[in-house]
Structure 1
């Protein structure tokens, strides 16, 4: 991936975007250690303080974690995020809810995200989504659940939609639903359905069809719900 030296406008925010892109495109994987702050400051052409601000923002969002004396790492899906006081993630993860409750919220939010993303997706965004799906397919082919790629796909859709609140909400919901992607519920049926539905969503985004993208996401979530909860 080509690192872009950032400008002076919203510097730490641009760093957040670039680090997220490195994760979305597979240049950084869950469990990987980020380069040292000094190295990243040189890469981005900014101060170490600015890099630190970007890392702090991603840590609060649950994507990164800093380990004393070891560095900063991309958080694994099976790691419990450290709740941040007053954050949206804290509010959702600390709540007393059922898996079905959280899934109902996904069905309210994510079809609309897909519709919004269909009007904003650029060719580069489509390429990134397709790269994630190829990685998901390869993970499944080699015996993995592909769950981390599933989550990255939905988070990237929220990024493309361009609403930071929705991005944080999707992150919180998917963290809360992480147990639904555990190996004991990752049946071959669910894996196959997930990938096929994701490709249908990407096809809708390519065509710029908001209603088609919304419908494809809704059908995807309905199908996953049937598999998880055994509903008809």
Structure 2
């Protein structure tokens, strides 16, 4: 029962060592043997800890050269997570629900902000809908996420949208225009509950359309 905890401790110890020694991307980190001696643990435990860090792209092993600290911006955590997220229907449902949580939070933030709710972009969207020009669904939702002001939520949303099959691909249909107009009106009038209700109805419509397309394919 103690092994999992010790294994996690080693991961934390290695990361702490990297910070304390002020290592930068491209710098070599101590070998498996050196780490085992410094941390006073078995090499097998160190090996597993290094494997997890390498899997996340935080370190990289170069044959014949050693192990080096990677640029964290290039880590493969997204790829690792995707192998789990897309493995069953329940996981896909979880992704969809989590994405919706971020979208509704953005919508609430905008409706409750006097400045954001009265931006000209909402009127611009309404004009585009009335003109009959191509109105991409993702443009509307992405603008909503950006204007909420939460940059972390925006980044998470981009990933969740990718994992849920990009549900806002394509242009708005005639059936959707009135629904989006109602969302825009609710935003401008700062009617949070109405905006959420209309937004969820729109998302339900899109989901049903996707399910029908899947059944027909």
* Greater relative CO, 1 or 2 (CA 8 Å, sep 6+): 1
TM-score normalized by structure 1?
0.46
From the CA coordinates, give the structure whose radius of gyration is larger.
Answer: 2
TM-score normalized by structure 2?
0.49
Decide which structure has greater helix share. 2
